[in-house]
Amino acid sequence: MLSTIVLTAGLATAPQTLTPGHAAAAADATCTTSSVPTYVLEPAGSGTDAGKRVLHKYMEWGPRSADTDLLDTQFTASLPATSKVFTGGGNGIVYEATSSGQVKTYKDNTATGGSLLTPVKTYSLNWSAAKRILTNGTRILVIGSDGAIDVYNQSSPATGDGTLTKIMDDVKTSVTTSLAAADDVWMVNSAVQWLTGGKVQQSIISNLPPGIGSITPPGIRLETPTTVATGVDAAQAWAPGPNSLSTQAVTDDPDTTGQVRSYTTGPLTTADDDVRSGIVGDIMADAGPCLTDPDPETVPYFGTAPADDTDVPTAQQPGEDSSPAAPSNTVSGKFTLGNGQPVQGLTVTVTAADATLDSDSSAGVNEPVLGTATTAADGTWTLDLPAKLRAGVQQATNDNGGALNLNATTAATTTSGVPVLGVDALTAVPVPSQGASLTAGTAADAKAAEATDDDHTVPLVPDTVDDAAAKDPSAEQEQQSLAAKAEAEPRAVGEETPLWQSDHSVLPADYNPYAVGGKDVSAEGVTPRAGDCQTVTYEQWRKIRYTVVGEAHANWDAKASFQYDSSMNSSVELAINSNGNWKAGASRNLSNEFGLSTGYANKGSYYAHQYKVPIEYRKYKKQYICTMGVKSTWYTVEPKRYKLPAGGSVGKIGKDVSAKDSSRNYNRAAKRNRGKVERGTFFELTRKKSTKFGNAVSLVGIGLSATTSYDNSHKQKITAGTRRNATHLIWGKNGPLDENPGVFYSN
C-alpha cells in the first residue's frame, strides 16, 4: 500500500500540466492531426466466434468540422470477450487487460500496412476486477466499481514497452466515485472527462507538488470538476482531441441505433449531428495532444493519400435496349432431382398466384389454372398462356402493372416412397394476342425482360411437412433464427439470403434437405403423380413489414438521393416449406400503384443508407389436389403488395451502408466499373435492375431478398459538390456504370 501518497480533489496548489505521451503538446495553430484512430470493441454477434469480440478500427476524420466522418478502415482483430481494452495518447498503442492477470500492449501498424494488433509487451498485472481503465498515454487509471483507483505511470508511452510503475494505490475521493458511477469515462491530455445523465464534466489532472511522497514519478491529483456540456443525449462519449466531443446514442431500432454525433466544446457546438449510425460497442479514441481541421479540398482517406485517378471516364447511364423483350405469353422452366439430374414426364400445373388476392380465405381458395405441361427428357417444360385471360386473372395482371405472377407446381414419389414436390414462381407479361410484340423502353417491356432473365431450374424437394412442423415460432425461437439475428445487427450484413433457413434456429453448415429417414434421397428416381391437379390455398395470416428496396451513397462533397415514387417496382423472394424448413429463392414481381412519393433526397455529405417500404406478406397452407385426392401439402410466405400500416410511414430510412464506400473499396473495385462525376453535376440510375438486397426483410424468423427495377420513378442518384477538387469517384457493384451496375458506391 502506497500510504504516503494521496489523491486530492480541489487542492489549492496550481495544476502542473502532464506530458500526454509526446515530447511537447503542439498548439492547434501548428497541429497536423486531423484524423483520429477510433476503436470499437463490438459485441459478440451472429458472425463472432464463441468467447470472442471484434476490435474494429475507424478513423474519425475532422472531428471538429462540418465534414466529420467516421471512416471504416475495415481492419479488425479478435480478442477474448472477457478482456478489457483501452487506448489513448495518440501513439497507436492498444492495451488489453486479460482475465488471467496480464496486461498486454500492442502497436497498431495498419497505417503502414501492418497488423492492427502487433504484440509489444506483456506485463504481470491483474486488472481483471477493474470496472474501467483509461489512459492518456503516460498515466493509466484503473478504476474499481467502488470508486477506488490505482494510478500507474508508463515510462515509454510512444512504444508501449516501458515500465509500468504504480504511483498511487487504492485511493478514493468524490471525483473517483463519480468516475465509477458515470455512464462513460475517458481521458484527453491532462483531463479526465465523464458522462452522467446527459452531463459531461471534467477534472484536470496535475502532478503532486515536489516533496509530497517519495515515488518518482510523483503522484497526481484531480482538480475540482467543471461542466463541459449539458443536455447530451448519448449512451457513450469520447474526446478525439482537445475541444472536441463525440457521442453515440442507442435505440431499440437496429436501423437507427449507434448514431454518432460530433461537437466542438467551449461552449458546446454541434459540428455534425449525423456522422454515422450502426456503430455499436465500446468506443475509444486514441486521442492525441491536438486537433486541426482537414483541408476541405482533400478527399478523406486512411493511410497514404490516394493518387489522382486521371484516366477514369465520366460516368454514363446504362443505355436503352435497342430491341424489345420477347413476349412472355410463353412461360417455361425446368425441374430436376435433388442432385441436379433432369426429370422427364412430370405433369406441371401452372396457376395464377394473385388472382385470389382479395378473396384469400382460411376456408380455401382455388388458384385459377392457366394450363398444364409435361417435362421433356432434359427436365424442361413450356406452356403458352391463354390468348384471353379470364376476368379475375386479367384484373390481377392489371392491378400488378401488367405483370402476372404464376406458380408452376409438380409432384412425384421417389423409389423409396418419399413424396417430393416442385414449386416454381414465375412472372409473365401477357400481350394482347399471341405473337404481338412489346415496345422497347416501356414499363411492360422492362417487366417482360425481368420476367425472362432468371434461370427457372427448380429441384424437387421432400414433401414431409405437417401442421406442427410449419407452426410459427415463438418469440424466443424466432430470435434464434439467422434472419432475426441479421435484422438485429446495426449494419447490413450479407449480400445473399441463405437458400435454406430455419425459423427457430440457425441451420448447420452441412444441412441436407434430402436426408429422410436416415438416407439421402436426392439421387433417387421418381414416379410422377398423375391426374388433373388443382392448387388450393388456405390463408393463415397477413403481416406488414418494411422491406429494403434500394440504397444510395454519397461520400465526401456529394449528396445522395433514392427515389421510389408512384408505384411498386420490385421483386421480393417468397419462401416455401415442404420439409420442416424454409427454402427462399423464387421471387414475386410487385408493381401495384400506390400514388405516393417516398424516398430521400440530397442527404449528405458522408451519407449511405438503405430505404424500406411497407409490404404486406401472407402465409398460406397449400395443397396439390389431383384426381385421386390430396397429393402434396406445403406452406408459403409470400409478398403481396405495398400496404401502408395504420399510422405508419410511407417509407423508412434503413441501415447505414457507408462501409461499402471510401477509397479503400474504390481501389479494390474493377477498373472497368469505375467512373467520375464532375463537380456540380449528377449521375443517376434510371434503367436496368438493382443488385439483390440480401436480408431485405425478416418475418417470423424467415429472411427474404429483394431487387428493384430502375426507371424514372425509381432511381439512385448522386450530386457532386462544387469544391475546386470535387471530381467525384463512383463505381458499380455488379459491373460498369453504363451497363448493369446494380448499385453504385461513392468515394
For residue range 256-301, what is the model confidence (pLDDT) as tens digits?
999 999 999 878 898 888 899 999 999 999 998 999 988 888 888 8
Percentages (nearest 5) of helix, strand, coil residues in the chain: 10, 45, 50
CB 43 within 8 Å of CB 298: no
Q: What are the structural domains, with CATH classification, of the chain?
A: 33-285 (2.120.10), 330-746 (no CATH)
Whether the bond into 267 is cis, omega within 30 of 0? yes
pLDDT score at 3: 29
Give 552's pLDDT tier (boundaries 50, 70, 90): very high
For residue range 218-265, what is the model confidence (pLDDT) as tens digits?
678 899 999 999 999 999 999 999 999 999 999 999 999 999 999 998
The region of weakest confidence among 75-84, 88-97, 301-310, 327-336 is: 301-310
CB atoms within 10 A of CB 538: 17
Give 13's pLDDT tier (boundaries 50, 70, 90): very low
Give 399's pLDDT tier (boundaries 50, 70, 90): confident
pLDDT above 90: residue 90: yes
CB 259 within 8 Å of CB 274: yes
Q: How far is CA 516 from CA 267, 459, 579, in A?
A: 69, 16, 9
Exposure of 506 in the CB half-sphere (CA atoms within 13 A): 12
What percent of the chain lies above the pLDDT cut of 90? Answer: 66
Tell me the three state secondary structure of residue 512: coil
Most confident of 30-34, 63-67, 169-173, 444-448: 169-173
Mean pLDDT for 595-605 is 91
CB 62 within 8 Å of CB 108: no
pLDDT score at 326: 56
Contacts of 739 (CB under 8 A, 6+ apart): 318, 688, 732
Mean pLDDT computed over every residue of the chain: 87
Q: Which residue is listed with cell 503542439?
A: 26
CB 246 within 8 Å of CB 260: yes
